[in-house]
Amino acid sequence: MTAADIRVAILDILHDIAPDEDLSGLKEDVPFREQLELDSMDFLDIVMELRKRYRVQIPENEYTELASMGSTVRYLEPRMKDIAK
């Protein structure tokens, strides 16, 4: 998956987790929490959905890498490069 593919995948997960939110204006390097109503359970949902959908394992001490769209894509790109779209 390319960076663009990963961004689409994350948006898809966010759409499911936060269905009331408008994601169209999501800023790349502003933390999700400053733009969306997300709490710790929602972040665990992101981790779980990545695990379920793409079998990506994220160690607990690296959850902070998922703070924003930019950091998430940068973190996941090398880990998902061999995953088919």
Contact flags string 25-44 toward other proteins, x per CB under 8 A: ------------x---x--x
* Burial (CB count within 10 angstroms: exposed 0-12, middle 13-18, buried 19+), residue 85: exposed
Among 27, 52, 81, 85, binds other proteins (CB under 8 A): 52
- Residue 53 as a binder of other proteins (CB under 8 A): the answer is no
Nearer to other proteins among residue 3 and residue 36 (C-beta): 36
The first and second tokens of residue 73, run together, are 């894509």
Residue with tokens 């593919």: 5
Q: How far is CA 73 from CA 6, 9, 13, 20, in A?
A: 6, 10, 13, 23
- Residue 17 as a binder of other proteins (CB under 8 A): the answer is yes
The site that binds other proteins (CB under 8 A) totals a number of residues, namely 12
Among 11, 18, 56, 83, binds other proteins (CB under 8 A): 18
